[in-house]
Amino acid sequence: MSRPASLLRNALIAALLAATLGACGRSDDRAVEVAVIGDPAAPFVTGPRLPLAAQLVRAASAEGLVGFDEQGRVIPAIADRWIVTDDGLSYIFRLRDGKWPGGGAITGETGRAALVRAIGALRGTALGSDLAVIREVRAMAGRVIEIRLHQQAPDLLQLLAQPELGLTMRGNGAGPMRLERDKRTAILTPIPPEDLGLPQPEEWEARRRKLNLVGLSAKDAIRRFNAGEADVVLGGRFADFPRLDAAGVPRGAIRLDPVTGLFGLAVARAEGFLGAPENREALAMAIDRDALAAALNVGGWTATTRVVAPGSADDNGTVAERWPGQTLAERRAVAAARVAAWQAENGKPAALRIALPAGPGGDLLLRQLAADFGAIGLTVRRVSEAGDAELRLVDTVARYARVGWFLNQLSCGNARGPCSASADRLAETAVAEPDPVKRADLYAQAEAQLTIANTFIPFGVPVRWSLVSGTVTGFAPNRWNIHPLMPLAMRPK
């Protein structure tokens, strides 16, 4: 080969390499695309009750005293360290040396004011009930605040890390990401640690990327993921799980969270056939949970007949699964006799109106319930959530794995239907009981009262899934269904 030809060949190779590297660089520099299943307006919802997309945005742009990492572990945020007193009744936090957005130092006084506002905004919610253990928030010297408790609360840090407890000053949060809005897209950019009063690693600028978050229907989110237009899909539930096989989503892209929580039917109206607790129990007796597990086809799904998930902290084991030793046929015979007695007394058939979410999973659940309730002489009709439903689906992941969470969700202040005042009184007494053995016994009595009331008909644990492409780092399945955005936006070291 002549020298000019060799030079030309080398120049072409160099140009091709440069183009390839440039293309890789451009690909590596692009934003991480995240789709969250839900309403397109959800990322920008405000208030005490936030949909998932808004929780993600809030946690990314307004961190609390502490936060979560991708594995659902509590990590420092505005508080860079803390101690717990020996009696467990006081948590003392030292805040980082930084400023709030728009100026103003982060101090004990400003941190306390922001936390008190956040807690106050949650009054009347289930999370607000969880925070009732807090007796007082005090500002101490410099950048220190103290949270004093009525009783020990081993899950306090878990509660303080919730997105709704993100701290703001004049409506703005202190990161760790900066939020911009482009129509219905939330654009989030990691804030340099030095701007937050933190040391900045040398490679930090090269690692950070923008992240775009949108709310989409499950069908559109899955389509975008399959087309390579979304890197991550969050917020998957049982209602849309069957879409994954139908759309040909690779099994390796599906991530299931091993969550606990409430998944079952809540009684919305204690009227007609549902007016008597023993009739409501008939519904719980009729459900074939093994058949439901097979129909859901979710690996590792666990059924239960209990209001509280078995194995929860503070569960002393005295409340067991219901109807031990009875077969499904035997339970259904008892339930069918109650249905027949009610229909004979009232001179009309018993029919139920059930609100279930749209989607193939909701259709599947309707067919299963129609078969189960039909086996004892009941008919069912599907209505919208906003309609006159007598039964509605509850599908909620526990924020912490203790009996108190379940009781707060189903309390008279949060149930949106019939409830048990006696269970509430026992739960309130338990919160104030310092002795852990006595407290667990009171919680067991409260669960027993809720069980007798039959205002909630459990199926098992909730179903939560995500889709994650092979190029994404910073994601890990965890028991809380917590998937913060900051780790997703950072390239690995």
**How many Cα neighbours within 13 Å face the side chain of 151?**
13
- Is the CATH number 3.10.105.10 carried by domain 261-461? yes
- Tens of pLDDT along the chain (493 residues) come to 444 344 334 443 333 333 333 333 334 678 999 999 999 999 999 989 999 999 999 999 999 999 999 999 999 999 999 999 999 999 999 999 988 887 789 999 999 999 999 999 999 899 999 999 999 999 998 999 999 998 889 999 999 999 999 999 988 898 899 999 999 999 999 999 888 878 888 888 888 999 999 999 999 999 999 999 999 999 999 999 999 999 999 999 999 999 999 999 999 999 999 999 999 999 999 999 999 999 998 988 999 999 999 889 889 999 999 999 999 999 999 999 999 999 999 999 999 999 999 999 999 999 999 999 999 999 999 998 767 899 999 999 999 999 999 999 999 999 889 999 999 999 999 988 888 899 999 999 999 999 999 999 999 999 999 999 998 999 999 999 999 999 999 988 7
Q: At what angle do helices 328-346 and 277-286 cross, to 10 degrees?
A: 140
Would you kindly state where each structural domain of the chain is located, as residue ranges? 33-225+465-489, 261-461
For the domain bounded by 33-225+465-489, which CATH number is listed? 3.40.190.10
Residues 65 and 85: their CA atoms lie apart, in Å, by 18
* 406 contacts 308 by C-beta, under 8 angstroms: yes
